[in-house]
Structure 1
Amino acid sequence: MKNSLTAVIYLEPDQVSLRIIELPKGRVVNDVRSGALALGNDKIANYAQNMAAIVNNLNGFKQQLKDYQVQNVHFYGAIEDLAPIDARYVADQLEVRTGLKIQWLNNNQLMAKTMGCVVNRLAEFKTLSKHCLYLLTLGLDSMTLAFFHHGNFEKQWEIDLGGAKISRLVQRLRQTTTNPQEIIQDYISSKLEYISPELKRKKRTVLLIQNAPVLSSHYIKEGKHLAEIPQELLSQANREMEIKIDDRHPWSQNITTEQERRLVIPNYLVIARTAYLIHPLSIFVTDISMMDGLVNGFADSRAQSQINTMIRTSADDLAQRYGVDTAHRDFVTRFALQFFDQLRPLHRLDNHARLLLEIASKVDDIGNFINQQSHYRHSAYILKSNPLIGLSDDDNQIIAEVARYHSSEAPTATQEHYRRMDDDIQLIVAKLVAILRLVDALDDSRQQKISSIKLNLTNDSLLKIKVIANNDLVLEKWSFSKKSELFSDVFGIKPVLIERGGH
């Protein structure tokens, strides 16, 4: 039995938890949580100051792992607003004191895992999302709103409306303002109104709320994962915007700590304003949590495939938003993946790198929306400002840098952005760029003249690229001669373009 047990430890700014599951069914064997950790006054992620409490809890978890004889342990942490250098310090301290090595996850990774879990584990999801469904996930630093249409994920927005941030604003306003209600209302509205034009208001729209433990514990019955919330309660909030809570409030008996009390009203107001913009037919809450999302990745073989689909969907949505040439995008994506697959012995990259190349192929031209001149730099800027759901910070950086160097500039030691990257990332970027530049050159005219490509890697350090074209390739050949130089530098192989009938 011990060989089938897997443990997941999850560190959040306000608590650390352990769940032991039995695979392959995912049955929960043990599920424990720490007491509340104090949130920071400056940064929400207060891990350094809470280090003693975190280590104490982790050592307690380790004893439970020993008791259950669990060998397979995964330790994750929500990076929230923690700076990268501080995250490394905290990770090192945790490993030294507990022997556990943490893997930091950003909000986009956590959201993808959790949304996948909601789709798969919530029995009612298919019915709720039959038409239009918005999934609102509350967080300490930000909130996420995702849109599903006919059961399929379409897009998501990360909005700067974290419960802890609003709570701090409320506390400051109470000290300086006699009537802070209107200010809070305007603050929340200002953050939400900019996405209002993109929201689809249809008669059969459903709003589903996640990561709202006070709501969950009040409305959801034991053994269930879903409950409907009375809309009148939220309508009242939009009318009065009351920011106090007392024992008469319907949720008050479910609040167990002062920190939780401070977060309830900000989250309540965010939910109310979101509902006001969406005009849902009904509102539900689910108790499926971030921990459920993490565990789901081990218990459900479909989890990663579903996340990859979300990543591709987000990339397509970004490309559409910035007016990317669809025919050129599809051409480049198709043949870039062909090159990747047939050149595996040469680049020796894994399937995750293949996914990153696919995404980069879809979005490398989004910078044309700003200006065709130096569009590749604009593409990198947009991608860094719009990290894709489901991808790590390193993954998003790789995609942005591949977009930066897919056209005119090359990733060399003279490029400042390239020099700043970690060594491991540098090599992946260089290999993916080398492939993408070749394929991009083959459609330099944006007319998709080439219908098929065959690759032949010879023993004399040549890569013969034989193409069948329906038109003259003068421009493509000229572009290919320039863009193929990086491929030779990276792989030590000279690419040669051969038209049908060539030698």
Structure 2
Amino acid sequence: MGKLQETTIQQAVEAFQHFRRVADDFEVTRVRAIATSAMREASNGYILTDRIQQTAKIEIEVISGDEEARLIHRAVSDAIKLNGKRAVLIDIGGGSVEVTLSENGNIVSTESYNMGTVRLLKKLDGHKESGLSFFNNPNRPFALLVREYAEAARKRIDLEIGKEKIDLCIGTGGNVEELGKLRQKLLKQSSSEVLRMSELQELIERINDLSVKDRIRKLKLRPDRADVILPAAIVLQLIAHETGVKQIQIPNVGLKDGLLAEIADELARGPQLPRREQVWSSATRLGNKYGFDAEHSNLVAKLAGQLFDQSKELHRLDEEERLLLEIGALLHDIGHFINTLDHDKHGYYILKANSLIGLNVRQQEIVANLVRYHRKFPPTLEDTGFKSLPPADRLIVTKLCALLRLADGMDISHTQHVRSVALTKKKKRWELNIQGRGDLLLERWGLNKRRSLFQEIFGVELEIT
């Protein structure tokens, strides 16, 4: 129905109160609770998270499908060597399916599809044809219906994976792990950690021939697994087929394992910056998707990083903000894909619609606002996107925009004449000295046009030399 029922909310609150008592008994110092597909979509999910916060003092973090995929990828990378490999990860849940493309241990793309097992079961069983349920209509077998429903997603998946060879196909989720066990039980194989495509087809046929009651009785499946195991197997087969592999690896790890690994890292080394290689890889892929000028964008990112390092005395920001500035600089022009006119606004829309793997929602909001204000008017509270940011983040955006505008101005011609920049403090002013080839007259003109925000936000005079 799209919302959580009151009885469900009460049961969840009671469960979390129990979790809190157990955690207190064991003197737990670090608790992290995350929610996925159902809570992303429930119209009243905020009521549940608030009640749990008030009664159990546990804050629930509703994560995106991309963040869910990242944590699962983290768990898989600890179990299977992904370096030097091109891999596709398929995580099948109740509400959604996450398909992640990984190259050399980094996520390059992830997509979430609304064809989780419970969702498929409810959607396809909820329709009627000629007064008959799809399950009971011999002319429309359930396996065929699942394939038809998932066909549109298959085409998108095929486009995302591309033509390059896939080295590994990896399946995660409770249903996938159960299929591995059924491989042992029904096909008399020794391992549950690999599933050949031919074996998956045989399992689908065997499961399809059994009623839900027979699956419980003969296969010893839990009732809440027996009904969803068939759509899970079909979806897994459909996606794995697109990868061109002959077998699926089942590492028996999932979201909780990635979460535990991340918490362990934080406890051992303290909170970490977003993984630079992962974020950069994701941003570069997004830039390529929208046809960015890679040479210009990389130079602007490099110059922005230099300006950041040379002006720490003024902005007093840290390495997290430096990375956000570089990513904003890398993607500042992607709005040209829609239209050169107002490309700053178009770039903002693109960043709001596409996730960058490795950044949380707050960090991505900052990057989107950097793209929005890299030119023309400075950030303003008349803009709802900027106004919705917390005051501290508004200040971060404004400071970083001042640096991004200067960096972009140094390559206003997109000819990469400027090679390096030196921003230094003099007695009564700051001096920005640019080095490169040619007379750099156009670049100096661009900088003079764009220095006003720097002077206003930092309260200093800036001279261009």
After TM superposition, the score normalised by the length of structure 1 is 0.79
Counterparts of 1:473-484 in structure 2 under 5 Å? 473-484=440-451
Write the letter of the residue equivalent to 1:465.
L
Structure 2 residue 435 is matched with structure 1 residue 464: no
Counterparts of 1:130-279 in structure 2 under 5 Å? 131-173=85-127, 177=134, 178=137, 179=140, 181=142, 182-200=144-162, 205-213=167-175, 215-216=177-178, 218=181, 227-235=193-201, 245-246=211-212, 253=219, 255-258=221-224, 260-279=225-244
C-alpha contact (below 8 Å) 1:113/1:390 kept by paired residues: no
How much has 1:214 moved relative to structure 2? 5.6
Write the letter of the residue equivalent to 2:405.
R
1:441-488 superposed Cα distances (whole Å, 9 cap, x missing partner): 11111111111211113453x331111121233322332233222222
Write the letter of the residue equivalent to 2:81.
F
1:308-341 superposed Cα distances (whole Å, 9 cap, x missing partner): 4222211111111222111111111111112222
Q: Separation in 2 of the partners of 1:344 and 1:257? A: 60
Aligned residue in 1 for 2:458: 491
Q: Separation in 2 of the partners of 1:449 and 1:53? A: 64
C-alpha contact (below 8 Å) 2:333/2:344 kept by paired residues: yes
- 1:320 corresponds, among 284, 288, 297, to 288
Tell me: CA distance 1:74–1:131, structure 2 relative to 1, closer, same or farther (3 Å): closer
How much has 1:413 moved relative to structure 2? 2.7
1:323-378 superposed Cα distances (whole Å, 9 cap, x missing partner): 21111111111111122223223223232222222221221211112222211121
Write the letter of the residue equivalent to 2:155.
E
How much has 1:48 moved relative to structure 2? 6.3
- Alignment partner of 1:72: what SS? coil
Q: Separation in 2 of the partners of 1:363 and 1:267? A: 37
Q: Separation in 2 of the partners of 1:180 and 1:401? A: 50
C-alpha contact (below 8 Å) 2:106/2:278 kept by paired residues: no
Which structure has the highest helix share of the two?
2
- Alignment partner of 1:309: what SS? helix
1:383-436 superposed Cα distances (whole Å, 9 cap, x missing partner): 111112232222222211211111223211333432343333322222222211
Structure 2 residue 391 is matched with structure 1 residue 423: yes
After TM superposition, the score normalised by the length of structure 2 is 0.85
C-alpha contact (below 8 Å) 2:274/2:320 kept by paired residues: no
- Alignment partner of 1:288: what SS? coil
Q: Separation in 2 of the partners of 1:76 and 1:111? A: 13
Aligned residue in 2 for 1:364: 332
C-alpha contact (below 8 Å) 2:2/2:42 kept by paired residues: no
Aligned residue in 1 for 2:81: 125
Q: Separation in 1 of the partners of 2:312 and 2:101? A: 36
What's the C-alpha RMSD, in Å, of the aligned pairs? 3.3
Q: Separation in 1 of the partners of 2:196 and 2:91? A: 18
> Which deviates more from structure 2 when the two are superposed, residues 242-251 or residues 144-153?
242-251
Tell me: CA distance 1:150–1:425, structure 2 relative to 1, closer, same or farther (3 Å): closer
Which structure has the highest strand share of the two?
1
Tell me: CA distance 1:236–1:404, structure 2 relative to 1, closer, same or farther (3 Å): farther
- Alignment partner of 1:125: what SS? coil
- Alignment partner of 1:73: what SS? coil
How much has 1:233 moved relative to structure 2? 4.2
Structure 2 residue 254 is matched with structure 1 residue 289: yes
Aligned residue in 2 for 1:65: 23
Q: Separation in 1 of the partners of 2:448 and 2:409? A: 9
- 2:301 corresponds, among 328, 333, 349, to 333
Aligned residue in 2 for 1:445: 413
Q: Separation in 1 of the partners of 2:260 and 2:164? A: 34
Q: Separation in 1 of the partners of 2:37 and 2:20? A: 22
Gaps of 5+ in 2: 185-189
Tell me: CA distance 1:140–1:376, structure 2 relative to 1, closer, same or farther (3 Å): farther
Q: Separation in 1 of the partners of 2:71 and 2:257? A: 9
Q: Separation in 1 of the partners of 2:151 and 2:163? A: 17
Aligned residue in 1 for 2:59: 101
C-alpha contact (below 8 Å) 1:47/1:90 kept by paired residues: no
How much has 1:212 moved relative to structure 2? 3.0
Write the letter of the residue equivalent to 2:364.
N
1:41-67 superposed Cα distances (whole Å, 9 cap, x missing partner): 325xx4865332222222222222233
Q: Separation in 2 of the partners of 1:270 and 1:362? A: 36
Structure 2 residue 9 is matched with structure 1 residue 51: yes
> Which deviates more from structure 2 when the two are superposed, residues 84-93 or residues 465-474?
84-93
Q: Separation in 2 of the partners of 1:417 and 1:351? A: 24
Q: Separation in 2 of the partners of 1:374 and 1:84? A: 35
Structure 2 residue 343 is matched with structure 1 residue 375: yes
1:106-136 superposed Cα distances (whole Å, 9 cap, x missing partner): 22223222212221x21x434xx65432111
C-alpha contact (below 8 Å) 1:164/1:263 kept by paired residues: yes
> Which deviates more from structure 2 when the two are superposed, residues 363-372 or residues 150-159?
150-159
Q: Separation in 2 of the partners of 1:306 and 1:233? A: 40
Tell me: CA distance 1:69–1:444, structure 2 relative to 1, closer, same or farther (3 Å): same
Structure 2 residue 264 is matched with structure 1 residue 299: yes
> Which deviates more from structure 2 when the two are superposed, residues 164-173 or residues 447-456?
164-173
C-alpha contact (below 8 Å) 2:176/2:233 kept by paired residues: no
Write the letter of the residue equivalent to 2:362.
D
C-alpha contact (below 8 Å) 1:185/1:241 kept by paired residues: no
Tell me: CA distance 1:415–1:68, structure 2 relative to 1, closer, same or farther (3 Å): closer
1:78-102 superposed Cα distances (whole Å, 9 cap, x missing partner): 3755369955543332221112233
Write the letter of the residue equivalent to 1:231.
M
